[in-house]
Amino acid sequence: MDACAAEGISTIKLTLCEVLGFQFNWALYGILSLQTFIYYQSGVPHRRLTKTIVYGLFVAETLQTILATHDGWHELVISWGDCGGLLTLNLNWLSLPFMTGIESCVIQCYYARRIYFLGKSKTLVYVIVMLALMQASAAVAEAITALTLNSVPNTQSKTYKITTDEYQADITIKVWLGGTAACDALIACVMIYFVFTGRNSYNSTNSIATKIIRISLQTGLCTSVVSIVQLCLFLTSNHALYYIVPALMLSKIYSNSLLSLLNSRLSITYRRGIEFHSSAEAKQFRREEGSLRRGRTIYNAEDMRDNIAMVTFKPPTGEEDVASNKFYYGGYMLPGFNEDGIA
């Protein structure tokens, strides 16, 4: 334990921070896996770019979890009883600042694209993209700095102490996490503004807009708060290494926030579909559509005495015909409804 005593670091605090950080990392990966599965099962007709980002983030987070587990195994199992092993950097430079910065940049640029569709404001898009690229560049620079120092306490001490030779490291961590928090807060505020100003006199539309505002506020502020907390702990908790806990959570929070926003659109559409299917006109329309599919006689109530139309189709026998007994609303499939619109 001489290495920890020389650095002035409590072995218990260091071990506790790493254990909590790895546990939160694995728990958030489990939530991300479930959200990705829900997104895949929903069959939402998103663009290829959106699907590429979603599945690409899941692959990247899987790799990040593997790297973090590798570091946790070496630090907490192989190096058990050896404080020098706890202070070894291992692959943290790759799994924490590098991958977190790149993933957050991709998500922020995706939000910038959605904001352009909402408000058609190129100025806001340029500001958000520039902030995203700036924080990603600073994250890569911080990863290179950490790799060069090759020690967890050296990374913090070199960043915490502001001298002529070490001032660059202090700038990178501030620009990375500060830029991330500012970009997330700006995205949340802009999305809330555009959705709020787009509300109308319809109660159903307003309830949907309110839910989107709430989700945007929660996800945007969550990532901003975690970034600020990590920055404050990094700069103030000298030799305590408390910042490891939010550092191991940040990338997972970004990915989960994006998936929660995309999956919330599915629940909103599903709820709107239920409201649509509960109307009398919709039920009558579905009865006629169901009669057409099943080959039954359709009677036109207005011209029943003059005209009786009979249309015959084969009865549903296979999976394809059974699958046709599903209804659509707004381009999304609503499974589980019969021809009367009852779930």
The CB-side HSE value for 239 (13 A sphere, CA atoms) comes to 9
Q: How many angstroms separate the CA atoms of 162 and 255, rounded?
A: 33
Position 275 pLDDT exceeds 50: no
User: What is the DSSP code (8-state) at residue 298?
Assistant: B
Alpha-carbon distance 3 to 276, whole Å? 67
Tokens standing for 330?
């707004």
| Most confident listed range (151-155, 272-276, 282-286) | 151-155
pLDDT tens-digit profile of 133-189? 999 999 999 899 888 877 666 565 555 443 334 444 468 888 999 999 999 999 988
Classified as helix, coil or strand, 309 is: strand
Question: To which residue do tokens 């307003």 refer?
Answer: 206
Of 101, 279, 121, 283, nearest to 187 by C-alpha is: 121
Domain extents for the chain? Answer: 2-276, 280-334
Query: Could you give the angle at which helices 167-197 and 99-119 cross, rounded to 10 degrees?
Result: 30
Q: What is the pLDDT of residues 105-122, one digit of tens each?
A: 999 999 999 888 888 889
Domain 2-276 coded CATH 1.20.1250? no
User: Please, are residues 103 and 255 in contact by the beta-carbon 8 Å criterion?
Assistant: yes
- pTM of structure: 0.72
CA count, 13 A, side-chain hemisphere, 36? 21
